[in-house]
Amino acid sequence: MNKSRTPIHSGTFKKAVKDELVKKKDINEDLNSLIPKIMNNHNLDTQIKNKVQEIMEKNRYFKDNITVAKNQFKDCVDCSFLPAFYKEKDFEPLESVANAKKIWNEQIKYKANVVARTVRKPFISAKAKGGKDVPEVPPIDLKEVDDPSCMFIFDQNTLFDSVLKVNSINYAGVMNLTWGSVKLQLQTMSVKEMRKKFNELNVTLRQIGVDDEKSFIDERLLQGDKLLSKDFRPLLINYARRGVPPSLRCRVYKKIFNIEMNPRDYEYYKSLNDHFSKWDLCIDDICNFDTNEVINDEKYFIFQDFIVQVTNLFFRDTWVLENMRSKPHATLTAIIGLDKEVGPFPPNGVLPCKHFSKFVCPFCYISTSPEDIYFIFRAFYAKYICQLHSLNSDSQGIIGLCKLFEDLLQTYEPEVFYYLNQMGINPLKTAFPWIFNMFIGYLEVSELFLLFDRIIGFDTVEIIPILAAAIFVYRSTLIANCTSQEEFEELFYDLSQIKVIPLLQHFLFLAS
């Protein structure tokens, strides 16, 4: 499939220069003074800045290694001798995590084959005209499957178990210095660093989600419209840090994610639909079965068609594989016949977790256009959601996020953490589903988008475990009064009344 992004062509600039020279009587006029004017008139300077920003964001994974290489080998002309990990995106530097990833990838591969056998289909097969399958064996009624675990590749519980099994095999220190479940020795943010990083959430600054009086909303709308007209992405990213008004959210997200919705994008979307009409993936059945469970939620059932369509197209989109910040698992290869490789399976390189379609659901509120919903969700997944399901030692990976939650809870409420440990209750076991699901299914939709605004604005998923820790701290007195596992679980049974921004502000800047 063709890529949906339109590159900046030098032809546009050349034509603009030529047209300006034709208008000039004195063609000997200094081109150095003419070029900036032409670029500004045709908005080319902003396009170039946005492209540079996009490239920097896409390659941020390499930032630390590149900095080390430059400092260490700055006087070397030839750096070809540098180790391969300086250019390998999926390289895992910690041996214990690399071993855990290897086991995880084998589990994923095994479950993919189990699912294929359960639905009685190959990984990929052609559809007959009209979009109907031509199966070699009768299709199976998925409701009659005895083992529910055959209906998904992985879920939050299997990933949670994998996180707990990771240990610091080379660590020579005392391992019982922490009460937490994450034994891997990872550095997390201090309270001071956290406050500096999320300074725009300070209580001294007005926020969408707290200060929602009409005058402030009107001010944010006016500011948002001005920034959209400037078309400069970094300014819009900073704008999102204090919240985006709902009426501007779709346009702001599209600009931040560089979604232009030009004819090439619509053609690309159509090509995904064509792929769906011609090819059947063995995961289609479990995705549709899974979606039927997800849409039982009263907030999302009206979007059933959108959710089904976006989910099915997503797994056919090779753009995702090429642009994910981190891979939830190793890419599988689809084989037709005995040994003919036909490419990655699924084409997007991501096998669905249980209830995957729930990640699509909130975005149905952002627009009435299926194309808008699809491209915004796709970009959001590739930048953020994928990291929540990736087993690595990066601070944005699931292990680092779990570690951050536990460290924050121990820092803010050590007595509560110790009390829960004495009762045999693992706080992370409660918080892990929140982190894994990005609080989707737990918070109201309006609160979810306030969280999404900040994730996009600060360009980090670390705010998710921070919110999880804030909820525990907020209910610390009630936790301390619990006398059983049942009482503890009841405290967190319903999070629908949680107000995200006031809670984050109090936790970051007011809690001791």
Tokens describing residue 35: 């070029």
3-state SS, residue 127: strand
Strand segments (E) across 323-392: 332-336, 340-345
Q: What is the pLDDT of residue 72?
A: 54
Residue 1 has pLDDT above 50, yes or no: no
pLDDT band of residue 174 (cuts 50, 70, 90) is low
Asked if residue 408 lies in contact with residue 345, where contact means CB atoms within 8 angstroms, the answer is no
Query: What string of H, E and C letters represents the secondary structure of 380-420?
Result: HHHHHHHHHCCCCCCCCCHHHHHHHHHHHHHHHCHHHHHHH
Q: What is the pLDDT of residue 335?
A: 78
Residue 119 has pLDDT above 50, yes or no: yes
What is the pairing mode between strands 279-281 and 332-336? unpaired
Helical (H) or strand (E) element with 125: strand 124-126
Asked if residue 413 lies in contact with residue 404, where contact means CB atoms within 8 angstroms, the answer is no
Helical (H) or strand (E) element with 501: helix 500-505
The residue-averaged pLDDT of 438-451 equals 97
Q: Count the alpha carbons within 13 Å of 91 in the hemisphere toward its beta carbon.
A: 11
C-alpha–C-alpha distance, residues 285 and 71, integer Å: 52
Radius of gyration of the chain measured on its C-alpha atoms = 25
Residues carrying CATH 1.10.472.80, the chain: 390-510
Can you say how many angstroms the Cα of residue 507 is from the centroid of all Cα atoms in its chain? 24
Q: Report which DSSP code applies to 76.
A: -
Tokens describing residue 170: 């080379």
Helices 156-165 & 398-412 angle (0-180, nearest 10): 70
Mind listing the pLDDT tens digit for each residue in 6-45?
445 556 666 766 776 666 655 555 666 666 776 776 666 6
Q: For residue 290, which of 158, 151, 122 has the smallest C-alpha distance?
A: 151
Residue 332's φ and ψ, nearest 5 degrees, are: -85, 160
C-alpha–C-alpha distance, residues 360 and 380, integer Å: 10
Residue 439 has pLDDT above 60, yes or no: yes
Q: For residue 284, which of 116, 421, 502 has the smallest C-alpha distance?
A: 116
Q: Tokens 């009768």 appear where?
A: 138
Q: What is the pLDDT of residue 84?
A: 52
C-alpha–C-alpha distance, residues 97 and 115, integer Å: 27
Q: For residue 397, which of 323, 471, 492, 329 has the smallest C-alpha distance?
A: 329
Helical (H) or strand (E) element with 280: strand 279-281
Mind listing the pLDDT tens digit for each residue in 216-225?
999 999 999 9
Domain 390-510 grouped into CATH 2.40.50.100: no
pLDDT band of residue 5 (cuts 50, 70, 90) is very low
Q: Omega into 246 within 30° of 0, i.e. cis?
A: no
pLDDT band of residue 91 (cuts 50, 70, 90) is confident
Mind listing the pLDDT tens digit for each residue in 237-296?
999 999 999 999 999 999 999 999 999 999 999 999 999 999 999 999 889 888 888 888
Instruction: Name which residue leads in pLDDT, 208 or 15.
Output: 208
Q: What does each C-alpha distance from 283 to 118, 119, 141 come to in angstroms? A: 10, 8, 14
Helices 95-119 & 156-165 angle (0-180, nearest 10): 150
Mind listing the pLDDT tens digit for each residue in 454-504?
999 999 999 999 999 999 999 999 999 999 999 999 999 999 999 999 999
